[in-house]
Amino acid sequence: MRKLIHFSVAILISSIFTGCSKSDKELDDFKLTIVIDNKEYVFNDDRVDLTMDNTGAMGMSWEGPDGMGSLTWEANDTGRFQWNDNTNQFLFEPDDVSPRQAFQSYYNDGLEVSTGEVTITEAGEIISGRIFIQQAGRTNTESGNGEYMGESRLTGTFILHRDY
């Protein structure tokens, strides 16, 4: 018991000197979470690559037991970035949907940009934000024909370490 008390006091003193508190982000907080039609997919930080290209645009890609995908937006800065044909795009192919489908920031058979945005709330070494796609277009990736399967509402959140 005495060792536990000494250890707790040492942790408390260490956190005072380093500026840490219980409200700081824990390792388990660093992840990407995607929700499609009430189904949740979670990718831990070590499954997500988050980088910046030479133009300053940000990009992340992920792969794991739940599927794979990518997200891009135009700047390493806080703000709201609407989906578009150039820099702000989203694609996710979950492993548990049959037939296999890709969900994207386009709908109407890929002809129209979806309503929604990626919102960056923290930028720098740690990137955090939210994803919202009102009409995430679904395309069959299993058949080889790429037929349009409709649309779904997609949301997500992320807190990730930037990979340089």
Domain boundaries, the chain: 25-161
Considering the entire predicted model, what is its pTM?
Answer: 0.81
For residues 83 and 101, what is the distance between their CA atoms, to the nearest angstrom? 20
Residue-wise pLDDT tens digits, 127-153: 999 999 999 999 999 988 889 999 999
Please tell me which residue, 145 or 59, carries the higher pLDDT value.
Answer: 59
**In the chain, pLDDT over 70 holds for what percent of residues?**
84
Q: pLDDT at residue 20 above 90? A: no
Residues with Cβ within 8 Å of residue 76, at least 6 apart in sequence: 52, 56, 58, 123, 124, 127
Q: pLDDT at residue 11 above 60? A: no
CB 137 within 8 A of CB 109: yes
Q: Average per-residue pLDDT in the chain?
A: 85
pLDDT of residue 144: 83
pLDDT of residue 12: 32
